[in-house]
Structure 1
Amino acid sequence: MKTKTATEEQKHLPVIGVGPLYVLPTVAVTILAIALTKWGIIPLLGTVPVIPFYIAGSLSIVCGIYLWAAAVFFSRIDVKIKQNTLVTDGIYAHVRNPVYSAFLFLCTGALLLCCNVFLLILPPLFWLYLTVFIKLTEEKWLLKQYGAEFETYCKKVNRCIPSIAGNE
């Protein structure tokens, strides 16, 4: 009886994937930016109305929590990765990378709650990092694994900014 090697058995992405390579630096930069603001190293730009920042920050955090919970608990992405299934329903009909998007929204929300206009440069940089990172890693693997099915999915669903209409 021939036993399968780890590479033969694992024909799917790792359950955690490359996520820590995106999430950890993004969270670290967010924490650092908040700390530098609180310590006065990154100055505040005069007086800004805090209510819009608090509302936008809170909504962004709620959106991030929803995206994460929808992917992890409702879509059961861990199970579907192990089954080698391309997930295109549920939250994945609205955004291709809801877990990464969740951290993008959570970090953006935390930065907005600081009410520091200078920190608003970070969310577009986080988005750019996510876009380049995913294109060079997971999307290459998914294209190789699922081919035309993944290409069609990519044409219908955004990489990291959820659409309300979705693809269901």
Structure 2
Amino acid sequence: MNKKSEKNLPLYGIGPVIVFGQLLIAGGAIAISYKFKWDCYEYEMLNIPLKIIGILSVIFGLYLNYSAKHISNLFENVSENRLIQDGIYGYVRNPV
């Protein structure tokens, strides 16, 4: 290695820390909702639409994850220190 301490970008970055934090918050919210049952019968009509929105959000998130990793070849480009400009990274301001 003759170049000045050539260093690759981290492959995972802060993502796993954020996801772990979100899982902790979601788990805490679920535990609290089971501990303290709130009877909100007036909002029962929102139950199904909110579940549909939640499921669609999860599916969209999985698609974005797949798109970033496989369609844009995230790991290959990051390990070679190349800027990603296609796929989902063509639309965000911080392309890894």
Work out the percentage of aligned pairs sharing the same amino acid: 30
Corresponding residue for 2:80?
Answer: 83
Corresponding residue for 1:32?
Answer: 28
Instruction: State which of 10, 19, 22 in structure 2 corresponds to 1:23.
Output: 19
TM-score, normalised with respect to structure 2: 0.77
Moved over 3 A (4+): none
Structure 1 unmatched runs, 5+: 97-153, 160-168
What is the root-mean-square deviation of aligned Cα atoms in Å? 2.6
Corresponding residue for 2:40?
Answer: 46
- The DSSP-based 3-state class of the residue aligned with 1:88 is coil
- The DSSP-based 3-state class of the residue aligned with 1:67 is helix
Corresponding residue for 1:92?
Answer: 89
Q: CA deviation at 1:68?
A: 0.7
Matched residues, number? 92
In 2: Cα distance, 1:85 partner to 1:45 partner: 53
Change in Cα spacing, 1:68 to 1:22, as seen in structure 2 (3 Å) is same
Structure 2 unmatched runs, 5+: none
Residue type of the partner of 1:81? V
Deviations 1:5-40 (A, max 9, x none): xx8131x32101122222211121112112221332
Pairing 1:61–2:58 present = yes
In 2: Cα distance, 1:85 partner to 1:23 partner: 25
In 2: Cα distance, 1:80 partner to 1:69 partner: 15
Rg: which structure is higher? Answer: 2
TM-score, normalised with respect to structure 1: 0.47
